[in-house]
Each structure stands twice: as structure tokens, then as C-alpha cells.
Amino acid sequence: MALEYESEGKNRAQAIDAYERAFCVDPARPDALINCGTLYYEDGNLEKASEYFRQAFGARSGKRLAHFNLGSVLDETGHVDAARQHLRQAVRLNPIYPDAH
């Protein structure tokens, strides 16, 4: 449901709500955590976005993107050294990840 709302573009609040409900069933779903964090990031709620990106670290498949996204949030909030650490970690996890470079 969340992806469907998200694809419609104008139902961001409903998409976030659907992700929140999905976390009740599976709180460690990296794709949902990253997608929800991205919606918060795009809405300018960087604190909430970082919260979701940090939660995504627990799942192997989501780590690279979670580190990249958190690095972007930290860079925008002026935490450049911490941002670099997360971007470097994204590159360590996938050396050919162009966005992290």
C-alpha cells in the first residue's frame, strides 16, 4: 500500500502512515525503513529521516543505502565529518556505488 501511495505522488502522508503500520508487523524491514526515511528526507524532516536510516543498519541488505542516505542527511545538517564516515562506509560495502563516491 505504501508503495502504491508513494507512486501516486500526492499521497505522501498516506504512504508514511502505511509504512508506519507495516513496521508494526515487521519493524526491521530495510526497504520500508529506507523508503519511509526518504519520504521524511524529501519533506525536510531530517531528524525523522535519520531515525529511519539508522534503523535500517540492522539489516544486511539495507546497510549500503542506509549509510548513503544518513550521510546525506548529516551533510545537510552540517555534520560533515559524520557524513563522510557514513559515505565511506557505503563505499566499503559497495566499492562501485557511484552516488556515495
Q: In the predicted model, what is the mean pLDDT of the chain?
A: 85
Q: What is the architecture of the domain spanning 2-93?
A: Alpha Horseshoe (1.25)
pLDDT-based confidence at residue 26 (cuts at 50, 70, 90): confident
Q: Is the separation of the CB atoms in 16 and 36 below 8 Å?
A: yes
Which cell is 30 given?
A: 530495510
Query: Could you give the CA distance from residue 83 to residue 98 in angstroms, rounded to a whole number?
Result: 16
In this prediction, residue 101 has a pLDDT band, given cuts at 50, 70 and 90, of: confident
Cα distance from N-terminal residue to C-terminal residue, the chain: 33
pLDDT at 21 over 90: no
Q: What are the domain boundaries of the chain?
A: 2-93
Q: pLDDT for 31-73, tens place per residue?
A: 888 889 999 998 899 999 999 888 887 666 668 888 898 999 9
Q: What is the pTM of this model?
A: 0.71
Closest C-alpha among 6, 9, 8, 11 to residue 32: 6
